[in-house]
């Protein structure tokens, strides 16, 4: 479906936000996507799978034939709706709530998935937290810790817990960001974690190559998800994405196909340690 430039109405939510309260509601249900069995019989786990990019990825995986577990913080209504879309696609779903900035919760999530499905073929590390600031000095140690534990520690903990259950041909996909590629003066801690996600992806891909487990990353530009109205000032929400060359933010269902590409051995069997960057026409040096 063609997209046009769009200004969002000023709005504010409490973190982590809810898709149902967003105006307009994001396009994350993959309504125009027709699967072709590229992930038939696979078991996938998507963190942050209740809404936004994670929801679109979970539904896209289901449409390609995978059973999908989603881990999320506390947004039960959003998670329930995502689960219904997965089951509507004819696949099994599992939802697990809890804070993945806690190592024990990461282990519990993987244990639940393995208890339910017996193994794990695809891991998508996708959760994120951000808190914009006007100056570097505003960043507290508490904020720095929270951002890193959510955005990169959870990726490490989830991956370490999942690997014993992943076989040859499995795939790990990490969500990075345009901010990890070129920085952002109001999101210094967030950008630092996303740069770490990229280095983690490159290094882990090399480490797991002999086990034939592929590790790749998607680094989106601005995307209309609950993270935006729940972390950004209302005036910035109104202009969100308009500074991109394409003049608008992406919708989650425009980003999810990148994850399907990396999850499918048919599409990406020779891709390892790579980054897809759907960033709306912005070009980067190097």
Domains of the chain by range and CATH? 39-276 (3.40.50.720)
The CA-atom distances, in angstroms, between 205 and each of 43, 170, 176, 219 are 20, 12, 15, 16
34-43 pLDDT, tens digit per residue, is 999 999 999 9
Q: Which residue has the higher pLDDT, 3 or 14?
A: 14
pLDDT over 60 (residue 1): no
- Whether the Cβ atoms of residue 125 and residue 109 lie closer than 8 Å to each other: no
Mean pLDDT value of segment 20-35: 95
pLDDT over 50 (residue 10): yes
93-97 vs 122-125, strand pairing mode:
unpaired
Mean pLDDT value of segment 89-103: 98
- Catalytic-role residue among 72, 129, 153, 190: 190
Q: Most distant CA pair in the chain: distance in Å?
A: 50
Cα 123 from chain centroid?
11
Q: Residue 82 is encoded by which pair of tokens?
A: 């995502």
Mean pLDDT value of segment 135-149: 98
Q: Give 283's pLDDT tier (boundaries 50, 70, 90).
A: confident
165-211 pLDDT, tens digit per residue, is 999 999 999 999 999 999 999 999 999 999 999 999 999 999 999 99
> Is 190 designated active site?
yes
């Amino acid at each position: 479906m063609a997209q046009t430039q769009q200004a969002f109405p000023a709005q504010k939510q409490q973190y982590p936000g809810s898709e149902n309260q967003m105006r307009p509601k994001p396009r994350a249900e993959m309504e125009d996507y027709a699967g072709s069995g590229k992930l038939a019989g696979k078991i996938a786990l998507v963190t942050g799978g209740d809404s936004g990019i994670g929801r679109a990825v979970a539904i896209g995986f289901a449409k390609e034939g995978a059973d999908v577990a989603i881990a999320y913080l506390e947004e039960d209504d959003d998670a329930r709706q995502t689960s219904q879309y997965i089951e509507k696609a004819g696949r099994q779903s599992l939802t697990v709530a809890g804070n993945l900035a806690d190592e024990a919760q990461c282990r519990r999530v993987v244990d639940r998935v393995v208890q339910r499905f017996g193994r794990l073929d695809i891991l998508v590390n996708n959760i994120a937290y951000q808190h914009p600031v006007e100056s570097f000095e505003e960043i507290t140690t508490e904020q720095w810790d929270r951002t890193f534990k959510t955005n990169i520690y959870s990726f490490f903990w989830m991956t370490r817990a999942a690997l014993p259950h992943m076989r040859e041909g499995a795939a790990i996909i990490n969500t990075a960001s345009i901010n990890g590629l070129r920085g952002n003066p109001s999101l210094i801690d967030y950008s630092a974690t996303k740069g770490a996600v990229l280095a983690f992806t490159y290094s882990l891909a090399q480490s797991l190559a002999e086990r034939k487990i592929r590790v790749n990353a998607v680094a989106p530009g601005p995307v209309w998800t609950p993270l935006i109205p729940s972390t950004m000032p209302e005036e910035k929400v109104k202009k969100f994405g308009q500074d991109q060359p394409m003049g608008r933010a992406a919708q989650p269902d425009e980003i999810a196909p990148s994850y399907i590409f990396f999850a499918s051995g048919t599409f990406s069997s020779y891709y390892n340690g790579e980054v897809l960057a759907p960033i709306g026409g912005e070009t980067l040096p190097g």
